[in-house]
Amino acid sequence: MLAYVVRKVLSAVPTLFGVALIVFILFNTVGGDPTYQMLGRHATAKQVAELRHEYGFDQPQYIQFITYLKQIVTFDYGRSYATKQKISDMILDGIGPSLSLMIPAFLVTTLLSLGLALLVAYFRGRWIDRTIVIVCVFGMSLSMLAYILFGQYFFAYKMGWFPISGYEPMWPERIQYLILPGLIFVAVSLGYDVRFYRTAILDETNQDYVRTARAKGLSEGRVYFKHVLKNSMIPILTNIVIEIPLLILGAFLLESFFGIPGLGSMTIDAVHNSDFPVIKAMTTLDAMLFIFGNLLTDILYTLVDPRVTFE
């Protein structure tokens, strides 16, 4: 396994290099000169020259790209144009709020969607299956913005069960600010996950080993939980691991509307302020998380399916 992990990490280096090159071209070449966005259209030539020298914009493009690669390796992305803070410190400060919101919501969504998927697959074609599938399709048809506005107006404003927005850095006071956005995340994600997991489970129920298990006299519960669920874990794990980057970046709309100072709201603020260093850092971080997710997926495959080998 160690040799396999090393090979996968080495093979990820060219991918990360390609992502870094594309991001650099988009923000440094296609995006134009950011000095005029920082100083305004009425800036003097002297002010522009001084700022370009301060941020290294007067250096050749290949030098700037090498500097950008060094930032990725050292996790030092420079300073924000808007706040003048170190971007690495901003990311570290935002990870805590994002994870405190996303990890519980993600775990609840995964466990609940798997349970519902097993339930509807077990009662396939019956009224329980049809009802849950209809509710899932209806839930998928609504945007997250609709859930947020309804939740804030009805549950927070009208009923007064939760704060409308805000955040408390101390535990356990912060929990009251995370419950409503967490429930909204579960409601938004549940429909897609249940339908996806239901399809993966139903694909396995038509396999020969399931008919063999039933012929041996095994109960339906044992067939589904011991055999079907285990053999359908590859597509399920793929879907779960793909969502891992969301745990770090957080849900952009949720953090913005509920005033949670996580990585999602930080990225939204950077887009509004044309804060290119922050956007570049978050784009690169997202790419690295997807690469790590793919590596983790390949490793988990071998744990749930012995037919998968490290070759």
Q: Compute the average pLDDT of residues 170-189.
A: 86
- What percent of the chain has a predicted confidence (pLDDT) above 90? 0
Q: Which two tokens stand for residue 4?
A: 């396999």
Instruction: Of 115, 103, 52, give the one whose Cα is nearest residue 243.
Output: 103
Distances (CA, A) of 120 to 114, 204, 239: 10, 14, 19
Q: Check pLDDT > 60 for residue 311.
A: no
Q: Compute the average pLDDT of residues 244-267.
A: 78
Q: Check pLDDT > 80 for residue 159.
A: yes
pLDDT at 40: 65
Q: Check pLDDT > 70 for residue 250.
A: no
pLDDT at 41: 67
Q: Show Cβ contacts of residue 273 under 8 Å, excluding neighbours closer than 6 positions.
A: 81, 82
pLDDT at 37: 67
pLDDT at 169: 82
pLDDT at 298: 74
Q: Check pLDDT > 60 for residue 310.
A: no
Which structural domains are found in the chain, ordered by start? Answer: 2-74 (no CATH), 88-272 (1.10.3720.10)
* Neighbouring-strand partners of residue 86: 79
